[in-house]
Structure 1
Amino acid sequence: MRCPHLNELPPPPEGKTGWPWTEASDLLSQKMPDSSDWPRISIVTPSYNQGQFIEETIRSVLLQGYPNLEYIIIDGGSTDNSVEIIKKYEPWLAYWVSEKDRGQSHAINKGLDIASGDILCWLNSDDYFLINALKAISTNAVNINSSKFWLVGKGFEKIENQDNVYFYSPCQNPTIIAEEELCWNNVITQPAVFWSRKLNYRLNESLHYALDWNLWNEFIKEIPPKMLDDYIAVSRVYGTTKCKTGKSKFADELYYVAKKHGGSPLRAFLYRYALWEPQYRGAGKPLSIYTFLPKIWRKIGCLVVKVLFGKQAVQKYTWYFCA
């Protein structure tokens, strides 16, 4: 499907301006310079009761100006206004459904099973692409001389209810990422990742928090990513984000992934109980005995990790998942 023009879409809600409300990406030509078709990009959006955000998500996909898009929305049976919003954009969707599922990983897998694209991605219904994101992805993808690849762009973290947008790069060196680093620290911005169909993996449906980190570790065992210098997407962080509310369950999943891919069950155990546990127990609480002890535990944990695994093991730990 060709991405629609701005004037073909429903008008934006009152007061909404700028990208992706009153601005659109550059329109790419129907064919590539060699007269061949652009690779089809399939994007899956899992959704559940994200009516306050999903319209921005949808428009950020449809207004990419890309000539070969397949957009799929898998809604988990929302009870807010999500379905009403999805129906507004139904003419430009390849497929959508609203029905009960087994969670985010299951919803994404359902969409990926339907997708027919050469390049795949998922975009959560509270995140959104930046202007000209698919142009950057496609122009990089067509220059890769391999049928198996994955692209990692840069992203922004947007703190909701504040006048701040935090900029961050997927890693300190945007040209490389090492398998031995990724297995201990998810330095990748999820909505800025696209991969080729030949990387035929699916999400682990038992995971609800570390699903993306586990998938990246599966990818990197097969092929290193191509790191892009382009900003691709915005990831929202707000009070009810599941990574802010999951706490011990989130830490359990981090432990599972680190233990599975890191090759050191002891280090994974120390990360889980000496670093992650004190952090979620002390997160967001006023200074008290309840927060004081976890801080002491974490300092001791950092010291133990540093002694056993070196200074770098602590320096590369950046899981601020519920601060």
Structure 2
Amino acid sequence: MAALPTFTIVTPSFNQGRYLRRNLESVAGQQGVSVEHILLDGGSTDDTLDVIARHGGHLAHWRSAPDGGQTASLIEGFSRARGQVWGWLNSDDYLWDERALLHVAEAFAARPEAAMVSGDTVLVTEDERPAMLDMVPGPSARKMRYTMCVPQQSTFWRAEAYRAVGGIDPAFRYCMDFDLFQRMSQGRAMARVPRFVAAFRLQPASKTATWGDVYRREVALCQSRYGRGALHWLAVKAVTMELRLGSAAAELAALASGRKLPCLANCRWEPCRAFARKRHGLSF
């Protein structure tokens, strides 16, 4: 097996001080891999700078100043990246455990042809109670043509794939991940590591909770890149259902194998989402 790759993790942030410590500590605590962590803050006015001073000693680079938003921060961060494998972790999200990136690194080493590797994600409440799971097996360029088939927090890619497609498109404010992953996946192999890699925090100020209209417009733009018309949109619906069924199958297979799951609600199914909303008082 090839040597384990080095990582660069970019974290964009703005007024997320209450969550940032968890993010910083989750990256700093990774075992068995070399990680470069870059933090780009948009000039926060909360306690972000105090959190960085106390818990950001491991950071390879950070700055705090007004910028053009999340997309601009990510572009700047990756322009500084020196690792072989890259990913981004928003400031309110965190790596699931101290071996999360090691599992990803081992998958890249075992699959040298893979340009992208994705793991599973736990969706947690604001106070970090597991609410739902995102377990999507078999990521592929075909699926990415039609829908966002992998969770952003748990997806990583080789630096050369990012550079080959020209990086993040600054025109996207929300779905820069879907756009980037869609372009990087075409003509390249993708792989999945059947482990929980990251946690996605469901909290009121997140873009997921507040940018619904922008999200829908940008998703539609990505989904129409490779086709239009009735047959194309039927294909979008078919692949979406394929992902839902695959996610349920992955969860059942995990339970059958004895794998311990943090919760059972599957975020790809609306009845499970409704259950999670009611149980945890979520507003998404």
* Cα distance change, pair 229–67 in 1 and its aligned pair in 2 (3 A): closer
2:153 aligned to which of 185, 191, 196:
191
Do structure 1's residue 177 and structure 2's residue 139 form an aligned pair?
yes
| Correspondence list, 1:109-128, <5 A | 109-128=75-94
Do structure 1's residue 145 and structure 2's residue 145 form an aligned pair?
no
* Cα distance change, pair 247–94 in 1 and its aligned pair in 2 (3 A): same
User: For 2:54 and 2:235, how far apart are their aligned partners in 1?
Assistant: 54
User: For 1:243 and 1:223, how far apart are their aligned partners in 2?
Assistant: 28
Question: 8 Å contact 1:191–1:234 — kept in the other structure?
Answer: yes
Partner of 1:225, secondary structure, is strand
Question: 8 Å contact 2:33–2:102 — kept in the other structure?
Answer: no
1:253 maps to: 218
Do structure 1's residue 133 and structure 2's residue 59 form an aligned pair?
no
Question: 8 Å contact 2:33–2:101 — kept in the other structure?
Answer: no
* Cα distance change, pair 240–267 in 1 and its aligned pair in 2 (3 A): farther
Gaps (5+ residues) in structure 1? 1-32, 269-304
Do structure 1's residue 264 and structure 2's residue 231 form an aligned pair?
no
Letter in 1 for 2:174: Y
Do structure 1's residue 85 and structure 2's residue 57 form an aligned pair?
no
1:315 maps to: 241
Displacement of 1:189: 0.9
1:57 maps to: 23
Partner of 1:153, secondary structure, is strand
User: For 1:311 and 1:43, how far apart are their aligned partners in 2?
Assistant: 33
Gaps (5+ residues) in structure 2? 245-267, 274-282
Question: 8 Å contact 2:139–2:150 — kept in the other structure?
Answer: no
User: For 2:239 and 2:108, how far apart are their aligned partners in 1?
Assistant: 33
* Cα distance change, pair 128–161 in 1 and its aligned pair in 2 (3 A): closer
Displacement of 1:224: 2.5
Superposed CA deviations along residues 7-37 of structure 1, whole A, max 9, x for unmatched, are: xxxxxxxxxxxxxxxxxxxxxxxxxx99x7x
Superposed CA deviations along residues 156-200 of structure 1, whole A, max 9, x for unmatched, are: 11133695521220x2xx2x2343332322121111111111112
User: For 2:230 and 2:42, how far apart are their aligned partners in 1?
Assistant: 38
Partner of 1:204, secondary structure, is coil
Letter in 1 for 2:9: I
Letter in 2 for 1:239: P
- Choose 1 or 2 for highest CA Rg: 1
2:62 maps to: 96
Do structure 1's residue 229 and structure 2's residue 233 form an aligned pair?
no
What is the root-mean-square deviation in Å for CA atoms of aligned residues? 2.7
Displacement of 1:313: 6.0
1:302 maps to: none
2:206 maps to: 241
Displacement of 1:76: 0.8
* Cα distance change, pair 245–215 in 1 and its aligned pair in 2 (3 A): same
* Cα distance change, pair 249–92 in 1 and its aligned pair in 2 (3 A): same
Question: 8 Å contact 1:185–1:319 — kept in the other structure?
Answer: no
Do structure 1's residue 215 and structure 2's residue 180 form an aligned pair?
yes
Question: 8 Å contact 1:155–1:232 — kept in the other structure?
Answer: yes
Displacement of 1:253: 0.9
Partner of 2:204, secondary structure, is coil
- Higher RCO (C-alpha under 8 Å, 6+ residues apart): 2
Letter in 1 for 2:40: I
* Cα distance change, pair 67–153 in 1 and its aligned pair in 2 (3 A): closer
Letter in 1 for 2:73: A
User: For 1:215 and 1:143, how far apart are their aligned partners in 2?
Assistant: 24
Letter in 1 for 2:241: Q
* Cα distance change, pair 111–265 in 1 and its aligned pair in 2 (3 A): farther
1:299 maps to: none
